[in-house]
Homo-oligomer: A and B are copies of this chain.
Amino acid sequence: MESRGISKAVIGRLPRYYRYLGELNEAGVERISSSDLSKKMHVTASQIRQDLNNFGGFGQQGYGYNVKYLRTEIGKILGLDQSHNMVIIGAGNLGQALANYASFARNGFILKGIFDVNPELKGKVIRDIPIRMMDELETVLQEENIDIAALTIPKTKAVEVSDILVRNGIKAIWNFAHTDLNLPKDVIVESVHLSDSLMKLSYNITRYKEEHGED
A residues in contact (CB < 8 Å) with B: 1, 3-4, 11-12, 14-16, 18-19, 23, 42, 77-80, 82, 84, 92-94, 96-98, 100-101, 103-104, 107-109, 147-148, 171-172, 174, 178-180, 182, 186, 188, 190, 192-208, 210-211
Q: Select from chain B the residue with minimum beta-carbon distance to A103.
A: B195
Residue pair A202, B12 in contact (C-beta under 8 Å): no
A195 and B84 in contact, given A79-B206, A206-B79 (Cβ under 8 angstroms): no
Residue pair B186, A190 in contact (C-beta under 8 Å): no
In the assembly, what is the distance between CA of A84 and CA of B172, in Å?
A: 35
Closest chain-B Cβ to A67's Cβ sits at a distance in Å of: 16
In the assembly, what is the distance between CA of A177 and CA of B174, in Å?
A: 19
Contacts of A207 in B (CB 8 A): 3-4, 79
Closest chain-B Cβ to A168's Cβ sits at a distance in Å of: 16
Closest chain-B Cβ to A28's Cβ sits at a distance in Å of: 16
Q: Which of B12, B172, B178, B201 contacts A205 (CB 8 A)?
A: B172
Q: Which of B15, B180, B196, B202 contacts A193 (CB 8 A)?
A: B15
Contacts of A186 in B (CB 8 A): 208
Residue pair B103, A178 in contact (C-beta under 8 Å): yes
Residue pair A194, B15 in contact (C-beta under 8 Å): no
Closest chain-B Cβ to A29's Cβ sits at a distance in Å of: 15
Residue pair B103, A93 in contact (C-beta under 8 Å): no
Residue pair A188, B174 in contact (C-beta under 8 Å): no
Residue pair A205, B179 in contact (C-beta under 8 Å): no
Contacts of A15 in B (CB 8 A): 193, 195-197, 199-200
